[in-house]
Amino acid sequence: MTAEAAVACRSCGGLDLHPFLDLGVTPLADALVAADNLDAPEERYPLQVAFCPDCALVQILEEVPPHKLFVDNYRYFSSYSDAVLEHSRRHATSLIDTRRLGPDSLVVELASNDGYLLRNFVVAGVPVLGIDPAPDQAAAANAAGVPTIDAFFGSDVAETLRHDGRVADVIIANNVLAHVPALNDFVAGMAMLLADDGLITIESPYVRELIDRVEFDTIYHEHYCYYSCTSMERLLRRHQLHLNDVEFFPDLHGGTLRWHVGHHDDPSDRVVEYLQRERDAGVDRFAYYQAFAIRVEDVADRLRTLIGDLVASGATVAGYGAAAKGATLLNYVGLGTDLVSFVVDRNPHKQGRHMPGTHQPIEDPAVLGERRPDYLLLLAWNFAAEIAAQQRDYLAGGGLMILPVPEPRIMP
């Protein structure tokens, strides 16, 4: 099965993309396999990453149809992470206070999932609208009292809402711009929907953290693009939007930036400082990315050796978190069921299925008390602290956890 290869930059249209990492031909990271379908062939696509020298955007070259990624195979529900829920609550509370939101306001979230964030505004009496293409997640949000449209957002949806008199005082776009192949249409839609004095907040993993901390498993087909402040600022200006502030959350998804965006150009000192630091580090030049593939292979080799040696000595290893990044890691490193026997995940929508490509069964974390694997490979390492807190009994009983990046190591 092939997908359409991107021949031009998704942001600026430049034709001189520079590849710097090839993760092979892999299954879709969220295409979990049903138990009765393990012998069927899985769809696989090339996974190659490139840099655009014209606008500094990092992006994969393959373009799998969004419907296949976010409708047919999407089982991520944000409400199963306590850390995400707390981060979202604080974000909502801050916006309500600083933007003085009330019953006459409108908050729109793009890729609103199961309503995990917007429900904080609903409780505070602030009108909301969620927009998400995943039908199960949109249905869950509506059932929870969070009005949600089941649709892919773009300029057409924004135009319809604007025509109906719905203009957003705040637009929230958390962890969605990485998932958008038609970037310019999406950003044009945000500009159209936003009130003149409104605010857009955008969160996305920071490409500097991905590169510096060798977070190669963050790369999968659902993530079309990887952003710096430089690439984000250039994308926004193309649509008469402006980057006015930036926040950094080092412990969220391996290092996340939150950008504050509006129609008016009023950059904070932090924006100026981030852009200058990126220039100084060379984030806007290809040389910054060229050695990444060598570092990725080194980490993969060491992780494969570490787990192989543990299993050869008689130890048992399971995985924690049936996350998309876990699928990339298991497939690229070559960790089959002979090395990582099963995976646990709190999300009941994933339990009973199997990891794509490597086919580890996905079970409820409760089985850890019965099966007692000697080691847990943290496939969802971005929630390491949360997992450790949830699994106090496992750790107290002598179980150990393995962090795969940036240096494969057994946690003390």
Return the axis-axis angle of helices 229-237 and 183-193, rounded to nearest 10°: 60
Residues sharing a CB contact under 8 Å with residue 218, sequence separation 6 or more, in sequence order: 205, 210, 226, 253, 254, 325, 328
172 within a domain of the structure (yes/no)? yes
Query: Rounded to whole angstroms, how far apart are CA atoms 151 and 147?
Result: 13
48 pLDDT above the threshold of 50: yes
CB-CB contact of 245 with 260 (8 Å): yes
Residues of the domain holding 388: 292-410
CB-CB contact of 120 with 101 (8 Å): no
CATH number of the domain that 228 lies in? 3.40.50.150
Residues 358 and 391 in one domain: yes
Query: Binning pLDDT at 50, 70 and 90, where does residue 81 land?
Result: confident
Residues 222 and 342 in one domain: no
Query: Rounded to whole angstroms, how far apart are CA atoms 180 and 278?
Result: 24
Query: Binning pLDDT at 50, 70 and 90, where does residue 82 land?
Result: confident
Report pTM: 0.91
Among residues of the chain, what percentage have pLDDT more than 70? Answer: 95
The count of C-alpha atoms lying within 13 angstroms of the C-alpha of 343, restricted to the half-sphere facing its C-beta, is: 31
Radius of gyration in angstroms for the set of CA atoms belonging to the chain, rounded to a whole number: 21
- Select from 250, 265, 280 the last residue of a domain: 265
Query: Binning pLDDT at 50, 70 and 90, where does residue 339 land?
Result: very high
Dig out the tokens for 3 from the structure. Answer: 């997908």
Residues 88 and 151 in one domain: yes
Compute the average pLDDT of residues 174-197: 95
CATH number of the domain that 373 lies in? 3.40.50.720
pLDDT digits (tens, 9 = 90+) for 95-143: 999 999 999 999 999 999 889 899 999 999 999 999 998 888 899 999 9
Q: How far is CA 206 from CA 137, 252, 274, 276, in A?
A: 26, 10, 12, 15
